[in-house]
Amino acid sequence: MRFSSICVIGLGYIGLPTASTFATHGIRVFGVDSNPAVIKSLQNGQVHIYEPGLNEVVSQALTSGNLKISAKPEVADAFIIAVPTPFYDDKKADMRFVTSAAESIVPVLREGNLVVLESTSPPLTTRDLVLPILEKSGLKAGRDFKLAYSPERVLPGQIMRELVENARVIGGIDAASAEAGRDLYATFVRGEIVLTDSTTSEMVKLMENTYRDINIAIANEFSRLADRFGVDVWEAIQIANRHPRVKILNPGPGVGGHCISVDPWFFVEAAPDITPLILTARKVNDGQPRFVVKLVEKAMLQAKSKKIACLGLAFKPDVDDLRESPAVDVARLLAEAGSEVTVLEPFNTNFEVKGAHNCATLEEAIKDAQVIVLLVNHSQFRNIDPAALAKLTAARTVVDTVNAWNANAFSAAGFKVFRLGVGK
């Protein structure tokens, strides 16, 4: 199939890079979002999210005239749904955004169109949820229009590169739909494009992130065991990984982001009777912030103070994405326990943690603190000189939860160092 126009619904971390990339490759793109603030900022040429390289691509797309921002879908050759799929408090998938996006397409769906769902979704979503909604148009999926599922598989901080270079999975409700999806993404994808059916494609995305979640869970359990047995887990992992068939990941404050911390729950919801391992891994990783809080509390006893500075709130280094971040949970739990908490997230200085004081600079965050807790391995935190830090604060106790700081160097600068997973 040939495509001259595309409508991308949802202009977040995936939708906006996707829409902009298509536009810079000569396709006329209608970028749609339900948030008036997002629409206004983009129409004014301002990007509302941080992602390296995104500003330049969006600017190029808007300047070319190929990217138009609006609140409602317009008639196009293809439609891409890239809206969030969060979960409710009971860990059940919240599909309201997907439902709303599919319903918004119905009035403008035409014979010969292609619709692609990119939002991470439970198995069978494309066939059992999206397809019936689209067929309310009077058109028949597979006969009058094509329908496929193609999950995003990119890493925040590397989205603009991986969007183009990574392999792309296209799962159609039939072979023709998958082939149409291949033709669409071949506009800019240089990686391999693999065709399959829609449910397999849905499951592939969930499997990838569930696999990583389980592997992080065992690393987090190892950190707890090392703490109990008087071992340095980082040293132990380094030695264990010398085995040619072992690759243990690093522990940390938990698991965050909109993928790894969410996707496994879709499996648990869909098949609770046959997913005990997945459920257990989720519980381990969701419980890791409380383990970190216990480590901080031990450090506070040494410092004899409840004034704590938490450095980093994002779910991973050098991004502004705080969705499901365990660092946020740690800061919140410390505040709830009665500590006087300051927080600094350099990539999102406006984010507030309930009960904590939000700071704009490192100097402000640590000024009155007695304990400094490193929660995210941002490069600017990783490169802090301990001697210079000592001149900025009276704090002489630090807690490193991500193995970013040289413990010997910080000790030499006069700090008492506590490290996640180090029981020595």
Look at strands 114-117 and 193-197 and give their pairing: unpaired
- Cα(366)–Cα(194) distance, rounded to whole angstroms? 50
* H or E, element range at 371: strand 371-374
Rounded-to-integer distance, Cα 233 and Cα 311, Å: 22
On whether the CB atoms of residues 116 and 178 are closer than 8 A, the answer is no
Contacts 24+ apart (CB under 8 A), 39-42: 39/69, 39/70, 39/71, 42/11, 42/16, 42/69
Q: Among residues 167, 164, 245, which one has the least CA distance to residue 204? A: 167
Let me know the angle formed at the C-alpha of 90 by 297 and 134, rounded to the nearest 5 degrees: 135
What is the rounded distance in angstroms from the CA atom of residue 252 to the CA atom of residue 375? 8
The answer for 307, left when phi > 0, alpha when psi is -120 to 50, beta otherwise, is beta
Active site residues: 205, 259
User: Which residues pair with residue 417 across a beta bridge?
Assistant: 398
**Measured distance CA(315)–CA(258) in Å, rounded:** 9
